[in-house]
């Protein structure tokens, strides 16, 4: 399929951060001249997104299966075995089954997407992901007409995941999207960062990225994807139902019961990391607001 973002990267391309940034600047120049086609191009052209460093992105993580501290995933996720890896796609699909990660990759076109990531804890980053549209993976299995939601599940392998010894949540980590959210072209499965394979602490070998929702919706190390006609349970809603609901769209006007969501701290500024205003739908309002037309975003937060 056409690449609507920048260059097409193969999964084995390695892009050093410096070369990557240079290419980005070139692309920004090109965008100013002729404009980039497609949805990602519009978002990119609106303002230049400066990606966080490889260190920021891979050393400051939430991946509770490896511990609840921000540096625990980087310290512990090397224990995770990601080969072989299969994703079970089941439920309301024509061809349910176990899909080998390599076979999925062969069928997909890998693109770059530079997205904001806004954690519900009010910090944020900008991440240059590599990946493919979730819609393309779902179409491999053939979504049936009655399907309305997509449920996701993370691997649960306690011997490789020291954090799962503690019942912080009811493991495995599960998440869900409405089918139209899942099929939206901004929704991707990420398999890389900065042109390299995605590190374990970021959700290897493949993780969901839904850039207009709080980070916890972007479930890591996915082993199962189930098409269903019922709203699926989600881990943080099950754990703290008054604080986290199904949609979890980034919204500066709806505070968390225990803190404001009006601003965020951008990681990487060191001691002087400044707070910046949080944007409606994390800056993707133009692209995704139509999905929620007529919906009460305060009630369905």
If the CB atoms of residues 40 and 67 are measured against ligand MTE, the closer one turns out to be 67
Instruction: CB nearer to ligand MTE: give 15 or 221.
Output: 221
Among 6, 15, 44, 61, binds ligand MTE (CB under 6 A): 61
Q: Which is nearer to ligand MTE, 102 or 121 (CB)?
A: 121
The 155-184 contact track toward ligand MTE, x by CB under 6 A, reads ------------------x-----------
72 or 111, CB closer to ligand MTE?
72
266 binding partner (options ligand MTE, Mo ion, none; Cβ < 5 to 8 Å by kind) = none
| Residue 65 binding ligand MTE, by CB under 6 A | yes
Among 184, 196, 220, 224, binds ligand MTE (CB under 6 A): 220
Piece in contact with ligand MTE (CB under 6 A), picked from 32-40, 45-53, 210-218, 253-261: 210-218
Query: Among 4, 300, 40, 63, which Cα is nearest to 178's?
Result: 300
Site for ligand MTE in 94-133 (CB under 6 A): 117, 119
Does 215 contact Mo ion by CB under 5 A? yes
* 5, 63, 132, 284: residue in contact with ligand MTE (rule CB under 6 A): 63
Footprint of ligand MTE on this chain (CB under 6 A)? Answer: 61-65, 117, 119, 154, 173, 202-203, 215-216, 218-220
Footprint of Mo ion on this chain (CB under 5 A)? Answer: 62, 119, 215-216
């Amino acid at each position: 399929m056409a690449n609507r973002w920048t260059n097409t990267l193969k999964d084995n391309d390695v892009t050093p951060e410096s070369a990557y940034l240079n290419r980005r600047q070139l692309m920004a120049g090109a965008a100013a001249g002729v404009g980039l086609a497609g949805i990602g191009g519009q978002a990119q052209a609106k303002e230049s997104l400066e990606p966080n460093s490889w260190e920021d992105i891979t050393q400051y993580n939430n991946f509770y299966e490896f511990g609840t501290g921000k540096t625990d995933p980087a310290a512990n996720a090397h224990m995770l075995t990601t080969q072989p890896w299969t994703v079970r796609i089941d439920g309301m699909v024509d061809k349910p089954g176990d899909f080998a990660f390599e076979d999925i990759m062969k069928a997909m076109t890998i693109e770059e997407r530079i997205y904001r990531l806004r954690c519900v804890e009010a910090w944020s980053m900008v991440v240059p992901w590599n990946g493919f549209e979730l819609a393309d993976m779902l179409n491999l299995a053939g979504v049936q007409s009655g399907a309305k939601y997509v449920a996701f599940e993370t691997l649960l392998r306690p011997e490789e995941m020291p954090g799962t010894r503690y019942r912080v949540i009811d493991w495995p980590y599960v998440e869900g999207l409405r089918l139209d959210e899942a099929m939206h072209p901004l929704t991707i499965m990420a398999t890389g960062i900065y042109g390299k394979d995605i590190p374990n602490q970021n959700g290897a070998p493949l993780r969901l990225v839904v850039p207009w929702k709080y980070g916890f919706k972007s479930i890591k190390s996915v082993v199962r994807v189930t098409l269903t006609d019922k709203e699926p349970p989600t881990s943080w809603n099950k754990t703290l139902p008054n604080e986290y609901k199904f949609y979890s769209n980034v919204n500066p006007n709806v505070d968390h019961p225990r803190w404001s969501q009006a601003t965020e701290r951008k990681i990487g500024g060191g001691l002087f990391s400044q707070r910046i205003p949080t944007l409606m739908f994390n800056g993707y309002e133009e692209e995704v607001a139509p999905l929620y037309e007529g919906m009460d975003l305060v009630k369905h937060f």
